Structure 1
Amino acid sequence: MSIPVDWSDLPPELLEMIAKKLNIHKDYVRFRAVCLAWRNAAPKIPRHLPCQLPWLMLPRRTNQDPQSNHRSFISLSDDKIHLLNLPEDSDSHRRCGSSHGWLVILEETPSISILNPLTQSKHQLPPLSSFPNVTKFDPCEIGREYTLKTSDGDVYTCNSKEMRDSFIKKVIFSSSPSNEDLDYYAVAILNQTGDLAYCKKGDQCWKFIDDANSFCEDVIFHKGYFSAVSKYGTIAVCDVNGSSPVVSFIETPRQIGGDMQYLVPWKDELLLVTRYMEVEFNMDQNKLDILYKTTEFRVYKLVSNGPKWESMSELDGWALFVGENCSISFRAYEYPGCKGNCIYFTDDYSEWNYNGANGSHDLGIYDLENGCVEPLPCYPEKFYNGRRWPPPIWITPRVGGSTSVDYEKNV
């Protein structure tokens, strides 16, 4: 005769040990939902969890109610769509990066907001008007609200939409803004000038990393420093911890070819990912339309003896995620729904607001072993008529820091 077991009577220390063995957010949430004893044994904020497989944040659907604040996020691990209420991401806003689970959001004001979609936490970065090359902001000057100066001393103006849409390419963080006890740095790549700018948590203005101009293809935080890459594969290593930035360079033989470059941390090493595209320019009813499609990726590993970039034909079972997000890599077999030796990419080529333009978003999965581009199996293309702006973006779901929002209610 079997003796019935009351699972709620398990010792709290054993439950805590089991909870710490869980590495997937969804499993942790379900663990806490079993009963009150299990919930009390596992902290509400699971600080032990590793970085989670990215979700794909989708644009508004073509037929979506304009008054709706809901945004759709696709989870690759279970092919499910999660709806989150994000009034901060309206049609008048633009996303210009995701890093450590936070979105960077611009609008038609100088404000630069950062938002954690899961916890609804929100902070502010220094405004657009505080960049060193912005000499004046006057909201009364309709159509030319911003006055800017080039490095050569030339002066020009931009309107609020132009600044929102094309001034900043991408923003990344050194660590998660969720941790209120720690400082973090943000680095922004500027689109038109190729400058890198940075700020520290609590700063009121942005500062240029003067020696790193033109290293504007991509930037990541790697081994305690920001590393930025040029079009030709040279790396600028930027230390922004002191009173002024210190920049050193990793001079590699010039990389020729490709349309875009990404830096990706992989294991304990650094990868250069080169993206090749087919681009067409069409005039339709006196309107310029750019059609583009990714055809290939090539991957190189940084070899310190040289230094040089060494070509790679496979990723040892890892997967890379690139786009407007902070580039990231995962050991695929540890994450359901993730395919190894593949590059998951999103549409981050165009710098202009192409809402409603012809064609579809340039996103998918590139298999490095067979050289083929596959569609994302979970992407609901039927909901979109033409390209929608802003484009889809990868974001790593992350909770942490001080918040009153119950994570279980958001997934």
Structure 2
Amino acid sequence: MVYRFIVLERIEFENRVLGLKKRGEEDEDSDEEWPDDKAKIVCSSHGWLALFHFQNDNYDLFLSNSLSRRNIKLPPIQNLLNIPESILKGGYLSVTNVIISSSSLDEEDCRVMVIYGRDQRLAFCCPARARVDPPQRSDWLRVIGDSGDHFVAWDLRDPLSPRMIPMVISVDKNNYPVAAQSELELDLKLLCKIDEKFLVVAEPSDELFHVRRFVMLRMGPDGSFVDEVWHGAKGFDYSVPYKTVGFDVQNYEPETGSLKYMDRSLGGLALFIGSNHGFALSGAHFPELKPNSIYFTDTIGPPEWDDHDYRGHNVGIFNYENETFWSFYYPIGLGSIRKIVPSPIWFTPTTPL
């Protein structure tokens, strides 16, 4: 198995793609437990990849740093509540995201949160404690409810007593459920059957953004909408790819508890969304990035997406100011799209590539 990294800041194409073997000869004699090659990459967080194995009754969940060659096995996922065996074996929706509070897993205050199950429940553990405490203390410490479709915060400083902090949301009078600068843009967004929602954190300012991505399920080669086609026993025709057509971004204002629509400006930030947790970087601090833009990749998606002839192609950069798209690696044109599984994810290295 080889990891492929596409370095955005490098202009020359031949120098942009780096290959790194999952395990080298120097790792063969290591006593450290390694994830199986059949484990799938769920997401990434703070320089770590989360890999989940869901075959042959092996449901191991690992954090792997492909640059430092470290692997940390997390407590057994089957110990969590409300995961039917059928969900575990299928792999879908059993583990949909893993979020780490910091890149230093050896720190006592580091927390690993997992989103799992069909109802998107939350659980967390302390990776540093798992290596020094008795086995019973290294388990998932607490299931803390489902994420649902509402805002809520959790204080995890005391691992034995997590505390929920309600976040009351009010609607600003200038807030838009669906925003558009033209009737065509509004029509496209309203026709979308896929309306994905993401939370994006800008560090170190701690700003919180709510991002909505509108994805048209079927798009023609000229970008037009294509009706669903039913072929009876063969099911729906999935020969036409889905495509992102737009975004809406709202900023959470803790003083008023409101989500305020951001009108064609992201304050010079570049937002990153996909299967990993959302994050934002300042264009002033990272001049190689495009400010006021949204860098996006495909998400894992529901199981039925596997029937598509196209998968993993929904990748690009969206200029939030002028509503334009730019393909930075995978071509957006219909004739160039191919099925890519798994979908690319964002990776923020903690050591230089």
TM norm structure 1: 0.63
- Asked whether the 8 Å contact 2:275–2:300 carries over to 1, the reply is no
- Structure 2 alignment gaps of length 5 or more: 24-33, 131-136, 179-193, 219-227
- Asked whether the 8 Å contact 2:230–2:237 carries over to 1, the reply is yes
Matches of 1:369 and 1:206 in 2, distance apart? 43
Alignment of 1:281-300 (within 5 A): 286=234, 291-300=241-250
Distance of aligned partners of 1:191 and 1:305 in 2 relative to their CA distance in 1, 3 Å threshold: same
Matches of 2:306 and 2:118 in 1, distance apart? 21
Letter in 2 for 1:320: L
Higher mean alpha-carbon deviation, 238-247 vs 71-80, is at 238-247
RMSD: 3.0
Match of 2:111 among 185, 199, 218: 185
Higher mean alpha-carbon deviation, 345-354 vs 362-371, is at 345-354
Distance of aligned partners of 1:344 and 1:331 in 2 relative to their CA distance in 1, 3 Å threshold: same
Match of 1:359 among 304, 310, 314: 310
For residue 277 of structure 1, what is the aligned residue in structure 2? 215
For residue 40 of structure 1, what is the aligned residue in structure 2? none
Greater relative contact order, per chain length (Cα 8 Å cut-off, separation 6+) = 1
Which structure: larger Rg?
Answer: 1
SS in 2 for 1:373: strand
- Structure 1 alignment gaps of length 5 or more: 1-68, 135-147, 149-156, 217-229, 400-406
The Cα of 1:355 is off from its aligned counterpart by: 5.9
Distance of aligned partners of 1:124 and 1:333 in 2 relative to their CA distance in 1, 3 Å threshold: same
Matches of 2:350 and 2:41 in 1, distance apart? 18
- Asked whether the 8 Å contact 1:346–1:393 carries over to 2, the reply is yes
Match of 1:261 among 183, 197, 217: 197
Match of 1:247 among 148, 159, 164: 164
Matches of 2:88 and 2:325 in 1, distance apart? 37
SS in 2 for 1:165: coil
SS in 2 for 1:129: helix
Distance of aligned partners of 1:279 and 1:248 in 2 relative to their CA distance in 1, 3 Å threshold: same
Match of 2:339 among 387, 391, 399: 387
SS in 1 for 2:284: helix
SS in 2 for 1:295: strand
Distance of aligned partners of 1:283 and 1:81 in 2 relative to their CA distance in 1, 3 Å threshold: farther
TM norm structure 2: 0.73
Match of 1:169 among 62, 77, 96: 96
2:9 is the alignment partner of 1:77: yes
Distance of aligned partners of 1:70 and 1:355 in 2 relative to their CA distance in 1, 3 Å threshold: farther
For residue 140 of structure 2, what is the aligned residue in structure 1? 206
For residue 328 of structure 1, what is the aligned residue in structure 2? 279
For residue 317 of structure 1, what is the aligned residue in structure 2? 268
The Cα of 1:334 is off from its aligned counterpart by: 2.7
Distance of aligned partners of 1:341 and 1:270 in 2 relative to their CA distance in 1, 3 Å threshold: same
- Asked whether the 8 Å contact 2:88–2:94 carries over to 1, the reply is no
- Asked whether the 8 Å contact 1:356–1:388 carries over to 2, the reply is no
SS in 1 for 2:93: helix
Matches of 1:131 and 1:288 in 2, distance apart? 36
Matches of 1:392 and 1:301 in 2, distance apart? 26
Partner deviation per Cα, 1:159-192 (whole Å, 9 max, x = no partner): 6541x33311111011114x53444211111241
Higher mean alpha-carbon deviation, 181-190 vs 81-90, is at 81-90
Letter in 1 for 2:166: F
Matches of 1:98 and 1:337 in 2, distance apart? 21
Structure 1 or 2: more strand by fraction: 1
2:169 is the alignment partner of 1:237: no
Distance of aligned partners of 1:250 and 1:379 in 2 relative to their CA distance in 1, 3 Å threshold: same
The Cα of 1:324 is off from its aligned counterpart by: 1.1
Identity of aligned residues (%): 26
2:77 is the alignment partner of 1:125: no
- Asked whether the 8 Å contact 2:272–2:296 carries over to 1, the reply is yes
2:29 is the alignment partner of 1:103: no
Q: How many residues align?
A: 291
Matches of 1:321 and 1:289 in 2, distance apart? 31
Letter in 2 for 1:126: P
- Asked whether the 8 Å contact 2:3–2:19 carries over to 1, the reply is yes
The Cα of 1:350 is off from its aligned counterpart by: 1.1
Letter in 2 for 1:95: I
Letter in 2 for 1:94: K
Letter in 2 for 1:300: Q
